[in-house]
Amino acid sequence: MSQLTHINNKGDAQMVDVSDKVISTRIALAKSVVFMQPSTLALITSGQHKKGDVLAVARIAGIQAAKKCADLIPLCHPLMLTKVSVEFNIDTEHSSVEIKASTKLDGKTGVEMEALTAASIAALTIYDMCKAVDRTMVISQTQVLEKSGGKSGNWKA
């Protein structure tokens, strides 16, 4: 039987004060992968899914999610994104859709959370649109691939 531990944090949660940071161009790239049955992938790629163009809907959902990141994650700063893109790579060998989301702005804080949110929501949208035909789908490998800008500079996985 597992034992639960109660954690009592005495500190208050706070948003990080970025007012003294320098404005710089910040870019982040994140990914997520949806694994599915080959027949589900065929429905998506052929455009024969009865709900419509799965990838087009997932792209719009991802872009919309990046713009709403601060509404979803409590301590994220609301950001004026200058670019959000969501792209898909189809892998028939592994029966999967890889989602890559890129975010960009000129600002005082990074855009990694917005890129992760875009990739995650695009993946969830694919799941939602296809769950009636494939309950075995798995969403995994959600991660930041790279980021640039800011005091910490460039980083790549």
Catalytic residue annotation: 128
What is the rounded CA–CA span in Å between residue 41 and residue 138?
13
Detail the DSSP E strand segments found in 54-150: 83-91, 96-107, 138-148
8-state DSSP, 58 = H
Q: If we measure between CA atoms, which residue out of 119, 54, 116 comes closest to residue 87?
A: 119
Pairing of strands 24-35, 138-148: antiparallel
Pairing of strands 96-107, 138-148: unpaired
What is the rounded CA–CA span in Å between residue 79 and residue 102?
14
Which CA distances in Å does 42 have to 9, 23, 95, 99, 154? 49, 45, 9, 17, 38
